[in-house]
Amino acid sequence: MSFLEIDRAVKQFGGLRAVSDVSFTLEKGEVVGLLGPNGSGKTTLINLVSGALPATSGDIRLDGLRLTGLSRDRIARAGVARTFQLVRTLPSLSLVENVMITAVFGRHAHWGAAARRVALGALEMVGLSDRAGVAAADLTYIDQKRLELARALAAEPEILLLDEWLAGLNPTELAEGVALIRTLHQGGLTILMVEHIIDAVRALCPRVVVMNSGELIADAPTDIALADPMVVSAYLGGEVDA
């Protein structure tokens, strides 16, 4: 039994099948890239795993627990945490208050001083502990992204879903972001990451799964998948360097 099992997942929006019979697995401790052109169904699939959207059909399991049909909060308590393409912070609250919310509703449901301790630990992991009392409204873009990652980590997840977390960073920030994700992975966290930055994918992901038009078109070691003519045509526009 694999750690994360996605079996024939389908998501239908009226006449549009955004995810079409997608199946793949992740082993515990893997970091896997989820690639594909815009509109290929990557974020929709992440939404199915996290419970943000219900699956039309199919089966999703984490460590043997069937996630399909569970509410978003029960999936979070099962050990699933995620980031979003658009950064979502509570600007009037401090950084530690933003992160404490997730500690309260995460896998172990901490309260009071325990929630604060977990939140400060998550801020430390992303390099923001020295600004714990600063209002989220005062953060730069990269630090907003760090805050969102800290909130996901404060849920103490078994698996982390990153939805283009590296997007919009300058080269220095990108290198720091790649190093941070690598550190989280080396700490034993299982990661499924939607990403368009191919250099980052090559640096972090030994394996990728690739979607196009809602379907899975590749599941292979990264270099092999990125050289697949179907992947090159669908996702990379004829180029494998980006």
For the cut 50, the answer to whether the pLDDT of residue 98 exceeds it is: yes
Q: Which two tokens stand for residue 196?
A: 């368009």
Mean pLDDT of 15-32: 96
Quick one: what percent of the chain has pLDDT higher than 70? 97
Cα–Cα distance measured from residue 152 to residue 129, given in angstroms and rounded to the nearest whole number = 15
Mean pLDDT of 193-222: 96
For the cut 90, the answer to whether the pLDDT of residue 233 exceeds it is: no
Total number of domains constituting the chain: 2
Question: Domain limits at 40?
Answer: 4-79+158-236
Domain contains 57: yes
Question: Does one domain contain both 59 and 165?
Answer: yes
> What per-residue confidence (pLDDT) applies to 237?
57
Find out whether 37 and 234 touch, Cβ atoms under 8 Å: yes
For the cut 60, the answer to whether the pLDDT of residue 239 exceeds it is: no
Local confidence band at 88 (pLDDT 50, 70, 90 cut-offs): confident
For the cut 80, the answer to whether the pLDDT of residue 157 exceeds it is: yes
CA angle 3-224-4, nearest 5°?
10
Half-sphere exposure of 52 (CA within 13 A, CB side): 12
Cα–Cα distance measured from residue 10 to residue 146, given in angstroms and rounded to the nearest whole number = 32
Quick one: what percent of the chain has pLDDT higher than 90? 83
Q: Which two tokens stand for residue 11?
A: 């998501």
Question: Does one domain contain both 40 and 144?
Answer: no
Question: Does one domain contain both 17 and 126?
Answer: no
Instruction: Using alpha carbons, select from 20, 16, 31 the residue that is nearest to residue 221.
Output: 31
Question: Does one domain contain both 132 and 179?
Answer: no
